[in-house]
Amino acid sequence: MSQRLRPGTRATLQVRQLTPGEFAWIITLLDPESGNVRSTNYSDKRYGSLVEASTAGKAAVVAFLGAGDAQGREAPL
């Protein structure tokens, strides 16, 4: 599934501890005009540390936001 991102789309990144030694990221994409949530994306992979999950989450944010541009390319979900 994919979606079209508009210029100015913002993202929030959260890293959560699921169990001791197990972390995952959550990315929320926000509509640039209304500020409403467009989508919420969860990591399938579990990470062994907060730093590892944060690094992977930051890369995922770049992938989501970098995949959409002013020409309306589709971003992966």
| Confidence label for 67 from pLDDT (cuts 50, 70 and 90) | low
Mean pLDDT value across residues 14-18: 97
**73 lies in some domain:** no
Selected residue with higher pLDDT from 15 and 3? 15
40-60: pLDDT as tens digits: 999 999 999 999 999 999 999
CA dihedral sign, ordered 72, 30, 51, 25: negative
Determine the pLDDT at residue 7. 81
Structure letter (DSSP) for residue 47: B
User: How many separate domains does the chain show?
Assistant: 1
Mean pLDDT value across residues 22-27: 97
Domain that holds residue 50: 2-62
Tokens of 43: 């990591």
User: What's the CA gap between 19 and 40, in Å, rounded?
Assistant: 21
**71 lies in some domain:** no
**74 lies in some domain:** no
